[in-house]
Every structure is written in structure tokens, then in C-alpha cells.
Amino acid sequence: MADEVILLDVEYSMFGMRARIALAEKGIEYEYREENLADKSPLLLEMNPVHKKIPVLIHNGKPVCESLVIVQYIDEAWKDKSPNFLPSDPYARAKARFWADFVDKKVYESGRRLWTTRGEELETAKKDMIDALKLLEAELGDDSYFGGDNFGFLDIALITFYSWFHAYEYYSKLSFEDHCPKLIAWAKRCMEKESVSKSLADQNKVYEFVLLLRKKFGTG
């Protein structure tokens, strides 16, 4: 009996994109269901009653919530399928998880402030974002990917934000490539992978989506 895999998601979510990349990397077929967060489906509310958020991976009727947990679950549930996202060494695994958590705490929050704030708060957000990206660039070093020669867990965690970089740069007047050229080279390298390029939302469409959000929330 084949696995039943359903992904509840939103096209422009950098968190949902992580699940899409992980599924594509493993070659897992699944049903994609786009959610309307203004009118959440009964299935979403049933499958994630705690946070009521996407993404939710439903594997044979059982829900898995939170994007990094989903990526790890996919890695473990289909461990017979290559590639493996997390390294076998316990310390290397711990480091990958640490930096992925850093992405969620620092990159996401700074990025959100880049398009929702003005004035002094925006200037602080710009500094925080560049500081965070520089730390990640230092962690990458001269490797092809954060997993060394292999595209892995931290690469999946971070690359989805690349689809939002155009919007971030537009509203902050920053050039990430000027500040972090190695990191942008890494992002372009990741985009050469079909699993990534087909899973990420188009940067221009994300910008249009952010424009709508700014109007909706009165920050435009």
C-alpha cells in the first residue's frame, strides 16, 4: 500500500517551501493543498489544533507540524531514500539544528521588520539582518553548502528565504550581495537544483504579495 502524503501549505510561505524542497529531494509524491489563512480549512484546524498554522504534513492520516520538524520527519520516515539531510555525526547534527533555529529566530524576525517598519526601527532591522547573514556566511565558509559538499538540513532551512530577498531589499534599500557575496553565491548554487528552483516562490510574486500585505496592514 502506497503512502498517502498531503501537504497543507501556502505558496509564499518560506516555511512551507522547506517541506516542498524536502519532499522533492526525496522524490516523494504528495498532494498539495493550498490554504486560505483568512478562512482556514476544517482539515487544517483538525490537523494542527495547537497553532492552526501551515505547513502541516499529513502522512497516512497522521499530522506533523512545524517546518523544521517536518523536514527532520521526512528525513527519518524515508531514511531509505537518498539524500540524508542531517549528518550522521551527533555534533554536526547539533550544529545544523542550532543554525536552523538561528535562522527562524534572527533571519525571519529581521526580515519581517524590513517590510513592516520605518525610521529608526527599520535601520535597526537592517543592521540585525546583515549581522545575521554575515554570521551564516562565516558558518558556510568556503564550502559549497552548509553540509559541505552535500545540500542538507541547514541549506533547506535557509534557502527558502531567498524568495523573499527581493522584497526585503526593495523596502530596506539594502543589497545583500554587497554585504554577503558568498552567501548569495551559495543561494544561486542552491537554485541550480531542481528541487529548490521548482519549490521556491518567484521573487517578483513574493514582492507583489508583500505589497498587498503592506496595504492590508496599513504599512504601505
Whether residues 54 and 143 fall in one domain:
no
| Total number of domains in the chain | 2
What pLDDT score does 1 carry? 53
In terms of DSSP H, where are the helices of 78-175?
A: 90-102, 108-116, 119-140, 153-159, 165-172
Whether residues 131 and 210 fall in one domain:
yes
Question: CA-CA distances (angstroms) from residue 88 to 85, 124, 177?
Answer: 9, 38, 32
The strand pairing partners of 31, in sequence order, are 6
The reply to whether 58 falls in a domain is: yes
- Cβ neighbour number for residue 2 with a 10 Å cutoff: 6
Whether residues 98 and 40 fall in one domain:
no
Domain region containing 41: 5-77
Question: CA-CA distances (angstroms) from residue 180 to 28, 63, 134, 164, 189?
Answer: 34, 38, 6, 16, 14
Whether residues 16 and 66 fall in one domain:
yes
Output the domain CATH number for residue 66.
Answer: 3.40.30.10
Output the domain CATH number for residue 136.
Answer: 1.20.1050.10
Distance between the two ends of the chain, CA-based, in angstroms?
Answer: 51
Whether residues 138 and 194 fall in one domain:
yes
Determine contact, residues 60/3, Cβ cutoff 8 Å. yes
pLDDT tens track of the chain, all 220 residues? 579 999 999 999 999 999 999 999 999 999 999 999 999 999 999 999 999 999 999 999 999 999 999 999 999 999 999 999 999 999 999 999 999 999 999 999 999 999 999 999 999 999 999 999 999 999 999 999 998 999 999 999 999 999 999 999 999 999 999 999 999 999 999 999 999 999 999 999 999 999 999 988 877 5
Whether residues 61 and 102 fall in one domain:
no
pTM: 0.96
Residue from 136, 147, 111, 123 nearest 13 by CA: 111
Determine contact, residues 219/122, Cβ cutoff 8 Å. no
Whether residues 46 and 120 fall in one domain:
no
The reply to whether 64 falls in a domain is: yes
